Structure 1
């Protein structure tokens, strides 16, 4: 099955740019209750994912950094501790299971490496669950 069926399109995804501030990331994550947000450059390409952990490590490891001055820190200057792998829109859902074990969502790119949306881990789990349930149901008939 093609993954386009599971795609949450870019217009429905909260994204940030590399030039967004740490404060903007913190506020967006809090407002939407997200633990990670994709970073998209000015050309629409997926750059990476910023996580709560990345922001917390930055706070912990930067002397004199507090919430008030997080507006001076750009996301491009924050080390990311996890490399969320992007997948092609041409991938199959079965190919995504192993990747989704360690990522809340999978960024999806087109043939020009432009970010087009995400696939949520919960959608992959639901697909697997439903497939397994249908298989068990077929074996019981």
Structure 2
């Protein structure tokens, strides 16, 4: 099965640019009620995914150093690229198999999809992957029952 069938294209996915501010990132995540959101460069390259935890860890790390509470005004100078803590959401190419997607979905809410040049093209959600395998299982069960009877 081609994963393009399950792909939610970039124009229907909320994402952040790596040069967006900390405040813009939090506001976008809050607006969409997301716990994680893809981060791309201005030229469309997938950079990584930022999560609520990335924001929290940055606040805690900076708060420990200065012992001062942060205002959202302070966060306007911090960029999203500065808080990414590694790529916990590795991307896949459109040619990946459904079985490989399932493996990724065990650790991620969504799987970012890139083209051959590394440009972000969209996401496949864990929900869609689970639905695919559940449908496959349901379709196979009647055949098994016929063979047994």
User: What TM-score results when the alignment is normalised by the length of structure 1?
Assistant: 0.93
TM-score, normalised by the number of residues in structure 2: 0.89
State the SS of the aligned residue for 1:38. Answer: strand
Deviation at 1:107, TM superposition (A): 0.5
Structure 2 residue runs of 5 or longer lacking an equivalent are none
Q: Secondary structure at the match of 2:107?
A: coil
Q: Which has the larger radius of gyration?
A: 2
Post-superposition Cα deviations, 1:11-60, rounded to whole Å, max 9, x if no partner, equal 00101111101111111111111000000101111000000010011111
Structure 1 unaligned spans of 5+: none
Match of residue 57 from structure 1:
57
CA RMSD of aligned residues (A): 1.3
Change in Cα spacing, 1:138 to 1:75, as seen in structure 2 (3 Å) is same
**Deviation for aligned residue 1:83:** 2.3
Equivalent residue pairs, number: 141
Alpha-carbon shift at residue 82 of structure 1 (Å): 4.7
Q: Is the 8 Å Cα contact of residues 59 and 66 (structure 1) preserved in structure 2?
A: no
Aligned residue for 1:18?
18
List per-residue Cα deviations over 1:98-141 (Å, max 9, x = no partner).
11111111010111111100000111011111111111122223
Contact between 1:36 and 1:51, CA under 8 Å: does it hold in 2?
A: yes
- For 1:38-117, list aligned pairs within 5 A: 38-63=38-63, 64=68, 65-80=70-85, 82-117=87-122
Q: Which stretches of structure 1, 4 residues or longer, exceed 6 Å deviation after superposition?
A: none
